[in-house]
């Protein structure tokens, strides 16, 4: 029984970690050399910079990656998970945009970057700002605007049970059976009074 409860507890804890926003962004790029030929199945050097304000703005964060391209020349990496050169990805205040991403690439896999490009980060990365709930709501019901003022006049027209006595003498209609099946079967029964 202890193993079942421990396994169930670990399972539930795993779901709670899914609710946190990862401090990373996925980035993909097709890499070609100066002759416009795909760089396939090769290690390439990529430096990523997050710039604030404009395409020539201040670099708040710089990191390096050395991904291997696939057969189609596609390099995939996670911004925020590279080797940090300067700044802190977690320290970027996404509410102080606009932000731009500058990519520098060395098709030979080193740090002699011969390909460079800069573009503005648009909607999706700003979801990181939502993690800190930029609206400033305190969580207090009294701070809400346009909140209902008469919440005590509940009209029970749907037939919800409002007392512990549901007006019948049949206790079998209040039993719920739940099952969870992995390599074993766990049966939970809940009796309402």
What pLDDT score does 181 carry? 54
Question: Residues for the chain: how many in total?
Answer: 193
Contact 41, 70 (CB under 8 A): yes
**Stretches in the chain below the pLDDT threshold 70:** 1-22, 123-139, 141, 147-193
pTM greater than 0.85: no
How many CA atoms lie less than 13 Å away from 59 in the CB half-sphere?
13
What pLDDT score does 193 carry? 44
CB neighbour list of residue 48: distance below 8 Å, 6 or more residues apart: 27, 62, 63, 64, 65, 77, 79, 82, 101, 102, 103
Residue 21, SS3 per DSSP: coil
Tokens of 180: 């969870």
Q: Which of 138, 124, 54, 49 is nearest to 94 (CA)?
A: 124
What pLDDT score does 15 carry? 47
Burial class (CB within 10 angstroms; exposed 0-12, middle 13-18, buried 19+) of 67? buried
Domains and CATH numbers, the chain: 23-130 (2.60.40)
Contact 39, 33 (CB under 8 A): yes
What pLDDT score does 151 carry? 60
> Cα 73 to chain center, whole Å?
27
What pLDDT score does 52 carry? 95
What pLDDT score does 75 carry? 94
Q: Partners of 62 in the beta sheet?
A: 49, 86
């Amino acid at each position: 029984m202890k193993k079942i409860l421990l396994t169930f507890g670990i399972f539930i804890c795993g779901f709670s970690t899914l609710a946190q926003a990862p401090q990373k962004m996925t980035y993909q790029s097709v890499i070609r050399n100066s002759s416009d030929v795909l760089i396939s199945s090769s290690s390439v050097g990529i430096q990523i910079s997050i710039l604030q304000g404009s395409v020539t703005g201040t670099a708040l964060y710089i990191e390096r990656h050395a991904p291997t391209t696939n057969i189609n020349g596609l390099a995939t990496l996670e911004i925020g998970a590279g080797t940090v050169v300067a700044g802190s990805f977690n320290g970027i205040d996404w509410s102080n945009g606009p932000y731009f991403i500058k990519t520098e690439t060395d098709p030979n896999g080193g740090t002699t970057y011969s390909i460079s490009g800069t573009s503005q980060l648009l909607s999706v990365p700003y979801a990181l700002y939502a993690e800190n709930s930029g609206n400033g709501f305190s969580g207090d019901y009294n701070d809400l605007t346009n909140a209902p003022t008469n919440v005590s006049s509940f009209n029970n027209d749907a037939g919800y049970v409002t007392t512990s006595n549901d007006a019948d003498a049949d206790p079998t209609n209040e039993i719920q059976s739940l099952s969870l099946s992995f390599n074993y079967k766990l049966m939970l029964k809940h009796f309402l009074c």
